[in-house]
Amino acid sequence: MTASAPTRITLPRPDDWHVHLRDGAMLQAVLPETARDFGRAIIMPNLVPPVVTTADAVAYRDRILAALPQGADFAPLMTLYLTETTDPDDLAAGFASGLIQAVKLYPAGATTNSASGVRDFDKVRPVLERMAEIGLTLCVHGEVTDSDIDIFDREAVFIDRVLDPIRKATPGLRVTMEHVTTKNAVDYVRANDDDLAASITTHHLMINRNHLLVGGIKPHYYCLPVAKREEHRLALVEAATSGDKRFFLGTDSAPHTDPNKLSECGCAGVFSATNTMACLAHVFEAEGALDKLAGFASENGPAHYKLPVNQATITLEKRTDPAPFPAQIQTGEGPVTLFNPGYPLMWRVV
Protein backbone atom coordinates (compact mmCIF):
# COMPACT_ATOMS: atom_id res chain seq x y z
CA MET A 1 0.00 0.00 0.00
CA THR A 2 1.37 3.43 -0.92
CA ALA A 3 1.28 6.29 1.53
CA SER A 4 -1.40 8.88 0.89
CA ALA A 5 -0.31 12.25 -0.46
CA PRO A 6 0.07 14.97 2.16
CA THR A 7 -2.76 17.46 2.55
CA ARG A 8 -0.71 20.04 4.46
CA ILE A 9 2.81 21.24 3.65
CA THR A 10 5.04 23.93 5.11
CA LEU A 11 7.86 25.54 3.16
CA PRO A 12 10.12 28.58 3.47
CA ARG A 13 8.32 31.75 2.46
CA PRO A 14 8.59 31.76 -1.35
CA ASP A 15 9.95 34.47 -3.62
CA ASP A 16 8.76 35.63 -7.03
CA TRP A 17 11.73 36.08 -9.37
CA HIS A 18 9.75 37.99 -12.02
CA VAL A 19 6.75 40.21 -11.31
CA HIS A 20 5.14 43.35 -12.74
CA LEU A 21 3.79 45.71 -10.09
CA ARG A 22 3.14 48.65 -12.43
CA ASP A 23 2.76 52.06 -10.73
CA GLY A 24 0.21 54.46 -9.32
CA ALA A 25 -3.29 53.11 -8.70
CA MET A 26 -2.44 49.71 -10.21
CA LEU A 27 0.56 49.33 -7.90
CA GLN A 28 -1.62 50.14 -4.90
CA ALA A 29 -4.03 47.34 -5.83
CA VAL A 30 -1.73 44.53 -6.99
CA LEU A 31 1.16 44.88 -4.55
CA PRO A 32 -0.79 43.40 -1.61
CA GLU A 33 -1.53 40.32 -3.73
CA THR A 34 2.19 39.63 -4.17
CA ALA A 35 3.20 40.67 -0.66
CA ARG A 36 0.66 38.31 0.92
CA ASP A 37 2.53 35.09 0.04
CA PHE A 38 5.98 36.17 -1.18
CA GLY A 39 8.90 37.42 0.85
CA ARG A 40 10.77 39.06 -2.03
CA ALA A 41 10.27 39.68 -5.73
CA ILE A 42 12.35 40.77 -8.69
CA ILE A 43 10.50 43.88 -9.89
CA MET A 44 10.29 44.42 -13.63
CA PRO A 45 11.46 47.87 -14.79
CA ASN A 46 9.28 48.34 -17.91
CA LEU A 47 7.32 51.31 -16.66
CA VAL A 48 6.56 54.32 -18.83
CA PRO A 49 9.15 55.80 -18.75
CA PRO A 50 11.30 52.76 -17.87
CA VAL A 51 13.56 52.38 -14.84
CA VAL A 52 16.94 52.91 -16.50
CA THR A 53 19.18 54.43 -13.81
CA THR A 54 19.89 53.71 -10.17
CA ALA A 55 18.14 56.96 -9.26
CA ASP A 56 15.04 55.73 -11.12
CA ALA A 57 15.20 52.46 -9.17
CA VAL A 58 15.51 54.28 -5.83
CA ALA A 59 12.43 56.35 -6.61
CA TYR A 60 10.42 53.31 -7.76
CA ARG A 61 11.45 51.26 -4.72
CA ASP A 62 10.31 54.08 -2.45
CA ARG A 63 6.90 54.15 -4.18
CA ILE A 64 6.60 50.38 -3.71
CA LEU A 65 7.51 50.55 -0.03
CA ALA A 66 5.03 53.38 0.50
CA ALA A 67 2.28 51.25 -1.07
CA LEU A 68 2.90 48.17 1.10
CA PRO A 69 0.14 47.22 3.53
CA GLN A 70 1.07 47.96 7.12
CA GLY A 71 3.03 45.08 8.64
CA ALA A 72 3.74 43.36 5.31
CA ASP A 73 6.91 41.25 5.26
CA PHE A 74 8.08 41.93 1.71
CA ALA A 75 11.24 43.25 0.06
CA PRO A 76 11.27 44.53 -3.54
CA LEU A 77 14.41 43.52 -5.47
CA MET A 78 15.05 46.22 -8.03
CA THR A 79 16.18 45.88 -11.63
CA LEU A 80 17.37 48.25 -14.34
CA TYR A 81 16.07 48.30 -17.89
CA LEU A 82 18.99 47.74 -20.27
CA THR A 83 19.23 50.29 -23.08
CA GLU A 84 21.89 51.07 -25.63
CA THR A 85 22.89 54.09 -23.50
CA THR A 86 23.06 52.33 -20.10
CA ASP A 87 26.00 53.62 -18.03
CA PRO A 88 28.14 50.70 -16.73
CA ASP A 89 29.38 52.81 -13.81
CA ASP A 90 25.83 53.65 -12.72
CA LEU A 91 24.64 50.05 -12.67
CA ALA A 92 27.85 48.92 -10.93
CA ALA A 93 27.30 51.54 -8.22
CA GLY A 94 23.67 50.47 -7.81
CA PHE A 95 24.73 46.83 -7.49
CA ALA A 96 27.47 47.67 -4.99
CA SER A 97 24.95 49.54 -2.86
CA GLY A 98 22.76 46.44 -2.63
CA LEU A 99 19.84 48.12 -4.39
CA ILE A 100 20.14 46.64 -7.88
CA GLN A 101 19.78 42.85 -8.09
CA ALA A 102 19.63 42.42 -11.88
CA VAL A 103 19.52 44.14 -15.24
CA LYS A 104 16.70 43.32 -17.66
CA LEU A 105 17.24 42.76 -21.37
CA TYR A 106 14.20 43.39 -23.55
CA PRO A 107 14.77 43.04 -27.28
CA ALA A 108 13.06 46.16 -28.66
CA GLY A 109 9.41 45.45 -29.38
CA ALA A 110 9.32 42.02 -27.75
CA THR A 111 6.60 42.68 -25.17
CA THR A 112 4.69 45.32 -23.20
CA ASN A 113 6.58 48.62 -22.88
CA SER A 114 9.71 47.27 -24.58
CA ALA A 115 10.17 50.00 -27.18
CA SER A 116 13.24 51.31 -25.34
CA GLY A 117 14.92 47.90 -25.48
CA VAL A 118 18.03 46.75 -27.32
CA ARG A 119 18.24 46.67 -31.12
CA ASP A 120 22.02 46.52 -31.61
CA PHE A 121 23.58 44.07 -29.13
CA ASP A 122 27.10 45.29 -29.92
CA LYS A 123 26.17 48.60 -28.28
CA VAL A 124 25.57 46.92 -24.92
CA ARG A 125 28.67 44.73 -24.95
CA PRO A 126 30.63 47.02 -22.53
CA VAL A 127 27.72 46.84 -20.08
CA LEU A 128 27.54 43.05 -20.29
CA GLU A 129 31.29 42.76 -19.78
CA ARG A 130 31.07 44.95 -16.68
CA MET A 131 28.21 42.85 -15.36
CA ALA A 132 30.24 39.66 -15.81
CA GLU A 133 33.14 41.28 -13.98
CA ILE A 134 31.09 42.24 -10.92
CA GLY A 135 28.67 39.26 -10.89
CA LEU A 136 25.47 41.18 -11.70
CA THR A 137 22.75 38.97 -13.23
CA LEU A 138 21.26 39.62 -16.67
CA CYS A 139 17.55 38.76 -16.85
CA VAL A 140 16.54 38.00 -20.41
CA HIS A 141 13.22 38.22 -22.21
CA GLY A 142 14.20 35.54 -24.69
CA GLU A 143 12.45 36.29 -27.95
CA VAL A 144 13.60 37.66 -31.26
CA THR A 145 11.32 40.21 -32.89
CA ASP A 146 12.18 39.69 -36.57
CA SER A 147 8.99 39.90 -38.64
CA ASP A 148 9.88 36.76 -40.59
CA ILE A 149 10.05 34.56 -37.46
CA ASP A 150 6.85 32.80 -36.41
CA ILE A 151 5.73 33.91 -32.95
CA PHE A 152 5.83 30.30 -31.70
CA ASP A 153 9.50 30.01 -32.75
CA ARG A 154 10.81 33.27 -31.29
CA GLU A 155 12.26 31.74 -28.11
CA ALA A 156 14.13 28.93 -29.85
CA VAL A 157 15.57 31.32 -32.44
CA PHE A 158 16.60 33.77 -29.70
CA ILE A 159 18.66 31.08 -27.98
CA ASP A 160 20.58 30.31 -31.17
CA ARG A 161 20.94 33.81 -32.63
CA VAL A 162 21.26 36.03 -29.56
CA LEU A 163 21.69 34.32 -26.18
CA ASP A 164 24.29 31.72 -27.02
CA PRO A 165 26.52 34.23 -28.86
CA ILE A 166 26.21 36.71 -25.97
CA ARG A 167 27.22 34.09 -23.41
CA LYS A 168 30.14 32.86 -25.51
CA ALA A 169 31.38 36.42 -26.00
CA THR A 170 30.99 37.27 -22.30
CA PRO A 171 32.42 34.47 -20.14
CA GLY A 172 31.19 34.51 -16.56
CA LEU A 173 28.02 36.47 -17.30
CA ARG A 174 25.26 35.29 -14.99
CA VAL A 175 21.98 34.89 -16.88
CA THR A 176 18.39 34.17 -15.96
CA MET A 177 16.29 33.03 -18.92
CA GLU A 178 12.97 34.41 -17.78
CA HIS A 179 9.54 32.82 -18.26
CA VAL A 180 10.85 30.01 -20.48
CA THR A 181 8.17 28.32 -22.58
CA THR A 182 9.89 25.62 -24.63
CA LYS A 183 11.69 22.32 -24.34
CA ASN A 184 14.46 24.07 -26.31
CA ALA A 185 15.03 26.43 -23.38
CA VAL A 186 14.92 23.64 -20.79
CA ASP A 187 17.47 21.66 -22.76
CA TYR A 188 19.70 24.70 -23.23
CA VAL A 189 19.79 25.40 -19.49
CA ARG A 190 20.65 21.81 -18.72
CA ALA A 191 23.44 21.76 -21.31
CA ASN A 192 25.25 24.72 -19.75
CA ASP A 193 26.98 25.73 -16.52
CA ASP A 194 25.56 27.06 -13.28
CA ASP A 195 25.86 30.69 -14.42
CA LEU A 196 22.67 30.01 -16.40
CA ALA A 197 19.24 29.37 -14.86
CA ALA A 198 15.60 29.82 -15.83
CA SER A 199 12.39 31.03 -14.26
CA ILE A 200 9.07 29.37 -15.11
CA THR A 201 5.66 30.97 -14.73
CA THR A 202 2.61 29.55 -13.06
CA HIS A 203 0.44 29.76 -16.16
CA HIS A 204 2.95 28.16 -18.53
CA LEU A 205 2.92 25.10 -16.25
CA MET A 206 -0.85 24.86 -16.66
CA ILE A 207 -1.87 25.97 -20.15
CA ASN A 208 -0.77 25.30 -23.71
CA ARG A 209 -1.71 27.10 -26.92
CA ASN A 210 -4.92 25.05 -27.26
CA HIS A 211 -6.20 26.63 -24.05
CA LEU A 212 -5.62 30.01 -25.66
CA LEU A 213 -7.13 29.30 -29.07
CA VAL A 214 -9.45 26.27 -29.19
CA GLY A 215 -13.17 27.04 -28.98
CA GLY A 216 -12.57 30.78 -29.20
CA ILE A 217 -9.77 33.13 -28.24
CA LYS A 218 -9.23 33.42 -24.48
CA PRO A 219 -7.73 36.91 -23.98
CA HIS A 220 -6.87 36.31 -20.34
CA TYR A 221 -4.53 33.48 -21.40
CA TYR A 222 -2.69 35.69 -23.87
CA CYS A 223 0.83 36.51 -22.75
CA LEU A 224 4.31 36.96 -24.17
CA PRO A 225 6.06 34.67 -24.66
CA VAL A 226 2.89 33.03 -25.92
CA ALA A 227 1.93 29.55 -24.64
CA LYS A 228 3.30 26.77 -26.83
CA ARG A 229 2.45 23.15 -27.75
CA GLU A 230 1.62 20.58 -25.07
CA GLU A 231 5.02 18.90 -25.47
CA HIS A 232 6.65 22.14 -24.32
CA ARG A 233 4.32 22.53 -21.34
CA LEU A 234 5.17 18.99 -20.27
CA ALA A 235 8.88 19.79 -20.53
CA LEU A 236 8.37 22.80 -18.24
CA VAL A 237 6.45 20.72 -15.71
CA GLU A 238 9.18 18.07 -15.72
CA ALA A 239 11.87 20.73 -15.19
CA ALA A 240 9.98 22.51 -12.40
CA THR A 241 9.18 19.32 -10.50
CA SER A 242 12.52 17.59 -11.08
CA GLY A 243 14.42 19.18 -8.21
CA ASP A 244 16.96 20.66 -10.64
CA LYS A 245 18.25 23.79 -8.88
CA ARG A 246 18.54 25.74 -12.14
CA PHE A 247 14.74 26.15 -12.39
CA PHE A 248 12.65 28.34 -10.12
CA LEU A 249 9.46 30.36 -9.90
CA GLY A 250 9.00 33.66 -11.70
CA THR A 251 5.27 34.28 -12.07
CA ASP A 252 5.49 37.07 -14.66
CA SER A 253 2.26 38.18 -13.03
CA ALA A 254 1.33 41.10 -15.27
CA PRO A 255 -1.88 42.98 -14.53
CA HIS A 256 -3.88 44.73 -17.24
CA THR A 257 -7.40 46.02 -16.81
CA ASP A 258 -10.13 44.03 -18.50
CA PRO A 259 -10.90 46.77 -21.05
CA ASN A 260 -7.24 46.68 -22.13
CA LYS A 261 -7.20 42.87 -22.28
CA LEU A 262 -10.48 42.68 -24.19
CA SER A 263 -9.81 45.45 -26.70
CA GLU A 264 -9.31 45.10 -30.47
CA CYS A 265 -5.57 44.81 -29.81
CA GLY A 266 -5.49 43.25 -26.35
CA CYS A 267 -2.52 43.54 -23.98
CA ALA A 268 -0.24 40.58 -23.28
CA GLY A 269 -0.09 39.49 -19.66
CA VAL A 270 -1.53 37.03 -17.14
CA PHE A 271 -2.26 38.16 -13.58
CA SER A 272 -1.55 35.28 -11.20
CA ALA A 273 -0.14 36.75 -7.99
CA THR A 274 -3.23 35.95 -5.93
CA ASN A 275 -3.47 32.20 -6.54
CA THR A 276 0.01 31.15 -7.68
CA MET A 277 0.85 29.04 -4.64
CA ALA A 278 -2.44 27.14 -4.88
CA CYS A 279 -1.81 26.54 -8.58
CA LEU A 280 1.70 25.28 -7.93
CA ALA A 281 0.56 22.90 -5.20
CA HIS A 282 -1.95 21.47 -7.69
CA VAL A 283 0.72 20.97 -10.37
CA PHE A 284 3.30 19.46 -8.03
CA GLU A 285 0.75 17.16 -6.38
CA ALA A 286 -0.35 15.88 -9.80
CA GLU A 287 3.29 14.96 -10.51
CA GLY A 288 3.79 13.32 -7.11
CA ALA A 289 6.39 15.99 -6.38
CA LEU A 290 5.10 18.04 -3.45
CA ASP A 291 8.46 17.39 -1.80
CA LYS A 292 10.08 19.41 -4.62
CA LEU A 293 7.83 22.47 -4.26
CA ALA A 294 10.03 24.16 -1.63
CA GLY A 295 13.02 23.93 -3.95
CA PHE A 296 11.21 25.45 -6.90
CA ALA A 297 9.35 28.20 -5.02
CA SER A 298 11.62 28.98 -2.07
CA GLU A 299 15.20 27.75 -2.44
CA ASN A 300 16.51 27.59 -6.01
CA GLY A 301 15.95 31.25 -6.82
CA PRO A 302 17.84 32.58 -3.79
CA ALA A 303 20.72 30.22 -4.62
CA HIS A 304 20.96 31.60 -8.17
CA TYR A 305 20.84 35.22 -6.98
CA LYS A 306 23.23 34.47 -4.09
CA LEU A 307 20.72 35.43 -1.39
CA PRO A 308 19.67 33.53 1.74
CA VAL A 309 16.49 31.49 1.86
CA ASN A 310 13.73 33.28 3.77
CA GLN A 311 13.54 32.30 7.43
CA ALA A 312 9.77 32.74 7.64
CA THR A 313 7.48 29.96 6.41
CA ILE A 314 4.08 29.52 4.82
CA THR A 315 1.73 26.55 5.04
CA LEU A 316 -0.48 25.20 2.26
CA GLU A 317 -3.49 23.03 3.03
CA LYS A 318 -5.64 20.92 0.73
CA ARG A 319 -9.33 20.98 1.59
CA THR A 320 -12.43 19.32 0.20
CA ASP A 321 -14.01 22.61 -0.84
CA PRO A 322 -12.51 24.84 -3.56
CA ALA A 323 -10.38 27.79 -2.46
CA PRO A 324 -12.43 31.01 -2.67
CA PHE A 325 -10.32 33.04 -5.08
CA PRO A 326 -11.99 36.08 -6.65
CA ALA A 327 -12.58 36.19 -10.40
CA GLN A 328 -11.23 39.74 -10.44
CA ILE A 329 -9.53 42.26 -8.23
CA GLN A 330 -10.64 45.86 -8.33
CA THR A 331 -8.11 48.61 -8.98
CA GLY A 332 -8.25 52.35 -9.33
CA GLU A 333 -7.78 51.84 -13.08
CA GLY A 334 -10.48 49.18 -13.48
CA PRO A 335 -11.00 45.45 -12.86
CA VAL A 336 -8.16 42.95 -13.38
CA THR A 337 -9.08 39.32 -14.03
CA LEU A 338 -7.22 36.66 -12.06
CA PHE A 339 -5.68 33.67 -13.85
CA ASN A 340 -8.19 30.83 -13.94
CA PRO A 341 -6.71 27.39 -14.73
CA GLY A 342 -10.15 26.13 -15.76
CA TYR A 343 -10.86 23.92 -12.74
CA PRO A 344 -11.25 24.42 -8.99
CA LEU A 345 -8.15 24.80 -6.84
CA MET A 346 -8.34 22.80 -3.63
CA TRP A 347 -5.07 24.08 -2.08
CA ARG A 348 -4.79 27.38 -0.24
CA VAL A 349 -2.30 29.22 1.93
CA VAL A 350 -3.49 29.12 5.54
User: Is 2 a member of any domain?
Assistant: no
* pLDDT value of position 1: 35
Average pLDDT over the chain, rounded to whole? 95
* pLDDT value of position 111: 65
User: Is 189 a member of any domain?
Assistant: yes
Q: 182, 228 in Cβ contact below 8 A?
A: yes
User: Is 205 a member of any domain?
Assistant: yes
Looking at residue 22, which CATH number applies to its domain? 3.20.20.140
Per-residue pLDDT of 207-231, as tens digits, reads 999 999 999 999 999 999 999 999 9
* pLDDT value of position 117: 74
User: Is 36 a member of any domain?
Assistant: yes
Per-residue pLDDT of 236-275, as tens digits, reads 999 999 999 999 999 999 999 999 999 999 999 999 999 9
* pLDDT value of position 25: 98
The Cα 249–Cα 289 span in angstroms is 15
pTM for the model stands at 0.96
User: Is 341 a member of any domain?
Assistant: yes
User: Is 1 a member of any domain?
Assistant: no
Domain boundaries, position 238: 8-349
User: Is 217 a member of any domain?
Assistant: yes
Catalytic status, residue 187: no
Domain tally, the chain: 1
Among 252, 258, 291, 321, which one carries the catalytic annotation?
252
User: Is 3 a member of any domain?
Assistant: no
DSSP secondary structure, 175-224, as one string: EEETT--SHHHHHHHHTS-TTEEEEE-TGGGT--HHHHHTTS--GGG--S
In a structure prediction context, what are the per-residue pLDDT tens digits for the chain, which is 350 residues long?
Answer: 345 778 999 999 999 999 999 999 999 999 999 999 999 999 999 999 999 999 999 999 999 999 999 999 999 999 999 999 999 999 999 999 999 999 999 887 666 656 667 888 889 999 999 999 999 999 999 999 889 999 999 999 999 999 999 999 999 999 999 999 999 999 999 999 889 999 999 999 999 999 999 999 999 999 999 999 999 999 999 999 999 999 999 999 999 999 999 999 999 999 999 999 999 999 999 999 999 999 999 999 999 999 999 999 999 999 999 999 999 999 999 999 999 999 999 999 99
Neighbours of 70 (CB within 10 A): 4
